Amino acid sequence: MANQLDAIMKPKSIAVIGASERAGAIGRELTNKMLSYGYKGELYPVNPKAETILGVKAYKNVMDIPNPVDLAVIVVPRDFVYQVVDECGKKGVKGLVIITAGYKETGHEGAELEDKLVELIKQHGMRAIGPNCVGIVNTDPAIHLDSTFIEAFPYEGKTAFISQSGALGGAIFNIAKDFNVGLGQFVSVGNKADVNDETLLEYWSEDAEIDQILFYLESISSPASFRKLAAKVTKKKPIIAVKSGRSSAGAKAASSHTGALAGADLAADALLKQSGIIRVNSILELFEVAQVFTHCPLPKGNKVAIITNAGGPGIMATDAICEFGLEIAQLSEKTTQTLRANLPPAASVRNPVDMIASANVKDYVTTLETILDDENVDAVMVINLPLVGVDPLEIAKAVVEIRNRRTEKPIVSVFMAKADFFNDLNKLKANVPFFQYPESAAKAMSKLDVQRRWVEKPVGNEPTFNVDTEKAKEIIKKSLSENRDQLTTLESIDVLEAYGIRTCKYAFAANVDEAAAEANKIGYPVVMKITSTKISHKTEVGGVIVNIASEADLRNEFKGLIERLQTYGYSASDLDGVIVQEMVKGNREMVCGIATDPQYGHMMMFGLGGIYIETIKDISFRIAPLTDIDAKEMVESVKAYKILKGARGAVPANIPQIEETLLRLSQLVKDFSFIKELDINPLKISDKTAEGVAVDGRIQVDMEAAKKALSCDCCCSNGCCG
């Protein structure tokens, strides 16, 4: 069944509306590019004042074209675009590429014009790329379409590229060729008024001519649907992305620890990770990784063998391989015996295999063939340091020839040679990725293993727990009725308890006598904390007193607490009361939290908590809602995971219970989407039960959204408050 985007990406006929012969005009460059590249379909230049354009018959308007038109490439002034689009719709044109700029990228007026344009496009049942783009490319020999005004011609292959920057496209064509990465299709999406990233991902996921997808991303229009779709596509094909905007300049001030630590880039990073997208930090790295995926199969594991003619580069490669999460393969006895029989006595036949400086083409061939036969090896890195008497290009040709025959395992080459070598290499159209430095090769190579593990990883489940939604709802309503967006500590803990999150025994006390009575019920030692609608961070005013051993101690501490508040400019009336809690004994303190990113939604955090949270920053982030796999990865990805597992003889923490805590928090913000920020700090690991116990909590809501949501009759994950 034909896809609607085929009319754009695989058109049988194209009208260039705004074609021109005027030197320097974009309409001329586009028409000339299509003719020069050898477009295989019918090309119809449209210009009301010309009989021919570049030797091709021209038409006054699209309606005058006697034959059907699949695609219209529009490059007329903005004031004429609406009329042209309407004519295309009446003509029956199925797809549009709108090069013309001047829409939402220019401000409010342009955005309104773009909205009207999109409405017209939908009325006619067309699909459109742009506006404000540089065009599209399809290098398939049966199509051979280049409708861009980029100077360079694309290099044929099976890689798709989406760019949100039109100008960047010019560099992309040249860089791709330098890295021997052939482009199958290229789309400059421009303003993404109609066709967007998701549209193209879905289209390319089913295209047998596309093996991998590259992205230059500036923004993600609909993070939730993008994540859902990308997670499916990446199970079939790798997606590699450069996401610009890594700085924290766009992050807004937040009152919670989670909000302070979160930022737009952390949100984007979490989203890409949960989507299975391989994120890189530069265009250079993008094509280094793309080169590896272009020429290598996915490995069966992460064990790498190194072949080198010099010890130093072999050691550097070993360090890099380990740094990027791969392992050095343990060669079999059979392999080492074969290598010993064929290499000089001075050679090292353990991994890395150092064939020494005298290694020639035959040594490389024999060693590489032998290593590939070893079942303990999943991938091979071939290193050559050019030395007198051996032509590195001949060694490269030998590696390429072996790759022609041996396609079962990844082979990555590192030739620490001059630029002339790589210029000559480009003429070979090599089927092996070549790098100049072992560190770059190891980093790119590691992404193969990242993709392997993603493909093998099971799809997670999003569990639903039995919780007391109504209790949480009433607590939040009380806060709203008092015009407070910040829940008190007591209210926050009550909400957490309503959602089944393990909290310590606690009670509220309005004065010292009530505090003493509640402490006597709970049993000493206890913790006493202030709760106030006016004081946000308790520790900053000395509002948390731990290890209170008796009633007498409690009364003394309460008196001292009031005195401290006065030194910070508060009065006794600013104190709503205190919370008296059981003293949970445990040296391990973690943190769970939620912050809201304006674009990506709720971000969930887990990591090392207590007083070190904002200094050590041993934390992980994911976008809600979480799956059980997400929660597991969040816990396991922090360095403190070793502490949770029971380092230095400590009792292992109840890790499944900690993961469940994260999942319950995820359900909480799904049910109450207006929760803006939430902190559980610390989530203390009990020495007695090994559980993660919430001993403190803070919740802040979006007042306007909360009031709107809670005015309805229901408030649940499948109700009206989402």
Three-class DSSP category at 530? strand
Grade residue 17 by pLDDT with cuts at 50, 70 and 90: very high
Question: Which residue matches tokens 């063939």?
Answer: 369
Distance CA 82, CA 85 (A): 5
pLDDT average, residue stretch 9-29? 95
- Least Cα distance to 412 among 435, 429, 396 occurs for 435
**For 445-487, how does the pLDDT look when each residue is reduced to its tens digit (9 = 90+)?**
999 999 999 999 999 999 999 999 999 999 999 999 999 999 9
Strands (E) in 296-427, as ranges, are 303-308, 327-328, 353-354, 379-384, 411-415
pTM of the model: 0.87
Question: Left if phi > 0, otherwise alpha if psi is -120 to 50, otherwise beta: which for 437?
Answer: beta
Q: Which two tokens stand for residue 147?
A: 């409708």
SS3 labels along 480-522: HHCCCCECCHHHHHHHHHHCCCCECCEEEECCHHHHHHHHHHH
| Low-confidence winner among 39-48, 161-170, 233-242, 583-592 (lowest mean pLDDT) | 161-170
Distance CA 621, CA 23 (A): 53
Maximal C-alpha separation, the chain: 102
Grade residue 246 by pLDDT with cuts at 50, 70 and 90: low
Domains contained in the chain, CATH given = 6-210 (3.40.50.720), 296-456 (3.40.50.261), 505-583 (3.30.1490.20)
Q: Which amino acid is at 330?
A: Q
pLDDT at residue 249, rounded to an integer: 41
Neighbours of 451 (CB within 10 A): 24
SS3 labels along 632-657: HHHHHCCCCHHHHCCHHHCCCCCHHH
Grade residue 1 by pLDDT with cuts at 50, 70 and 90: very low
Distance CA 605, CA 603 (A): 7
Q: Which two tokens stand for residue 721?
A: 């408050």
Q: Which two tokens stand for residue 296?
A: 């290598």
Please say whether the beta carbons of 100 and 74 come within 8 A: yes
What dihedral angle (degrees, nearest 10) is formed by the CA atoms of 97, 238, 454, 463?
10
pLDDT at residue 571, rounded to an integer: 83
Please say whether the beta carbons of 526 and 582 come within 8 A: yes
pLDDT at residue 258, rounded to an integer: 40
CA 553 to chain centre: 52
Contacts 24+ apart (CB under 8 A), 652-658: 652/690, 653/588, 653/685, 653/690, 653/691, 653/692, 654/689, 654/690, 654/691, 654/692, 657/502, 657/691, 657/692, 658/590, 658/683, 658/692
Q: Which two tokens stand for residue 52?
A: 């021919």
Please say whether the beta carbons of 355 and 384 come within 8 A: no
Please say whether the beta carbons of 258 and 680 come within 8 A: no
Phi and psi at residue 142, in whole multiples of 5°?
Answer: -80, -15
Q: Which two tokens stand for residue 614?
A: 């904002």
Verify cis geometry, omega within 30 degrees of 0, for the bond prior to 141.
no
Alpha helices in 499-646 (DSSP H): 512-522, 551-567, 613-616, 628-636, 641-644
pLDDT average, residue stretch 299-323? 97
Distance CA 450, CA 457 (A): 10
pLDDT average, residue stretch 278-289? 95
SS3 labels along 229-296: HHHHHCCCCCEEEEECCCCCCCCCCCCCHHHHHCCHHHHHHHHHHHCCCEEECCHHHHHHHHHHHHHC
Q: How many CA atoms lie within 13 A of 499 on its CB side?
A: 26
Grade residue 155 by pLDDT with cuts at 50, 70 and 90: confident
- CA gyration radius, the chain: 32
Please say whether the beta carbons of 254 and 591 come within 8 A: no
**For 641-686, how does the pLDDT look when each residue is reduced to its tens digit (9 = 90+)?**
999 998 777 889 999 999 999 999 999 999 999 999 999 988 999 9
Q: Which amino acid is at 166?
A: G
Residue 593: beta bridge partners?
605, 679
pLDDT at residue 536, rounded to an integer: 65
pLDDT average, residue stretch 274-298? 96
Q: In this model, does residue 614 exceed pLDDT 90?
A: no
Strands (E) in 439-489, as ranges, are none
| Low-confidence winner among 102-111, 129-138, 604-613, 671-680 (lowest mean pLDDT) | 604-613
Grade residue 2 by pLDDT with cuts at 50, 70 and 90: low
Distance CA 695, CA 584 (A): 8
Q: In this model, does residue 509 exceed pLDDT 90?
A: yes
Contacts of 582 (CB under 8 A, 6+ apart): 504, 505, 506, 522, 523, 526, 527
Residue 137: beta bridge partners?
146, 186
**173 or 383, greater pLDDT:** 383
Find the distance separating the first CA and the last CA of the chain, reported in whole Å: 36
Q: Which amino acid is at 84?
A: V
- Least Cα distance to 231 among 268, 199, 271, 200 occurs for 271
Verify cis geometry, omega within 30 degrees of 0, for the bond prior to 598.
no
pLDDT average, residue stretch 24-28? 93
pLDDT at residue 535, rounded to an integer: 77
**For 337-373, how does the pLDDT look when each residue is reduced to its tens digit (9 = 90+)?**
999 999 999 999 999 999 999 999 999 999 999 999 9
pLDDT at residue 264, rounded to an integer: 66
CA distances from 167 to 173, 313, 546, 554 (A): 11, 38, 60, 68
**For 533-574, how does the pLDDT look when each residue is reduced to its tens digit (9 = 90+)?**
777 667 778 899 999 999 999 999 999 999 998 888 888 888
* Pairing mode, strands 303-308 and 379-384: parallel
- Least Cα distance to 216 among 184, 185, 189 occurs for 189
pLDDT average, residue stretch 621-640? 95
CB-based burial, 538-551: b 16+ in 10 Å, e otherwise: beebebbbeebeee
pLDDT average, residue stretch 385-396? 90
Sheet holding 95-98, edge to edge: 42-46, 13-17, 71-74, 95-98, 127-129
Residue 138: beta bridge partners?
145, 185
Grade residue 55 by pLDDT with cuts at 50, 70 and 90: very high
Q: In this model, does residue 165 exceed pLDDT 90?
A: no
pLDDT average, residue stretch 302-314? 96
